[in-house]
Amino acid sequence: MASKGDLTKARLAESMLELIQTSGYSGTGLNAVIEHAEAPRGSIYFHFPEGKEGLGVAAVELAAQRFEALIVEAAADAGGPAEAVRHAIEALTTIVAESDFRLGCPVSVVTLEMGAESERLRQACATAFESWISPTAAFLEASGVAPDEAHSLATVVVSTIEGAVIVSRALRSTQPLESAADVVAELIDQRCQTPGGTR
């Protein structure tokens, strides 16, 4: 069973994650996190001695874990990689639409805002993206795509989804995500139908 301290730490990371999604990293202050998490005032520096940067890393790691779980779940439930990617994009589309286009990917938000300012945050974001690329590549490889091609294709898939989320929020429309699902699924089908995963 988690201790009271562990629960407070998790609540702080969860609050940071939610606030990054709605207000951005720069727009999220520590006082707002404390209030959102309903945590004791001194708890942030107790659990995150590095302050906001350490809390930001924890939020990015939490986001990474959740989307990785979504990818793994989609892969387990789908009949093939193209269908799995469709399922994952549909889940993201629902999240974005139901939030009235206020929620996006916190990892891309932190990358854009802090990638050039904090090496620690940049590395956390890089690790997060790779944690999504790797299981996607493994699924593609298991479907017959050559290893190098699988990682390259998985990188394109994740990058396309990230871009589609941003454009969907800007346009306040799910069309970019829906189009991304169609194009990515078609690309995956082409690669999987080609011997060795190459043209």
The answer to whether residue 13 sits within a structural domain is no
Query: pLDDT tens across 67-114, in order?
Result: 999 888 888 888 889 999 999 999 999 999 999 999 889 999 999 999
The answer to whether residue 49 sits within a structural domain is no
pLDDT at site 198: 44
The answer to whether residue 85 sits within a structural domain is yes
pLDDT at 196 over 60: no
167-188 mean pLDDT: 96
Query: pLDDT tens across 6-15, in order?
Result: 899 999 999 9
Range of 135's domain?
Answer: 60-197
Place of tokens 């989609």: 74
The CA distance from 57 to 50, in Å, is 10
Percent of the chain with pLDDT over 70: 96
pLDDT at 195 over 70: no
pLDDT at site 194: 62
pLDDT at 189 over 70: yes
The answer to whether residue 176 sits within a structural domain is yes
The CA distance from 87 to 109, in Å, is 23
pLDDT at site 197: 47
CA atoms within 13 A on the CB side of 158: 26
The answer to whether residue 44 sits within a structural domain is no
pLDDT at 199 over 50: no
Confidence band for 122, pLDDT divided at 50, 70 and 90: very high
The CA distance from 5 to 8, in Å, is 5
The H-assigned helical ranges of 38-146 are 43-47, 52-77, 81-98, 106-114, 119-142
* CATH number, domain with residue 170: 1.10.357.10
Q: What is the pTM for the complete model shown?
A: 0.90
- Angle 175-193/147-171 helices, nearest 10 degrees? 170
Exposed, middle or buried by CB within 10 Å (0-12, 13-18, 19+), for 179? Answer: middle
The answer to whether residue 41 sits within a structural domain is no
Q: How many domains does the chain have?
A: 1
- CB contact at 8 A, 76 and 87: no
The answer to whether residue 71 sits within a structural domain is yes
Average pLDDT, rounded, for the chain: 92
Query: pLDDT tens across 24-61, in order?
Result: 999 999 999 999 999 998 899 999 999 999 999 999 99
What's the distance, Cα to Cα, between the start and end of the chain in Å? 52
The answer to whether residue 20 sits within a structural domain is no
Place of tokens 């629960």: 7
How far apart, in Å, are the Cα atoms of 60 and each of 16, 34, 56, 89, 137?
Answer: 9, 18, 6, 20, 21
- CB contact at 8 A, 85 and 49: no
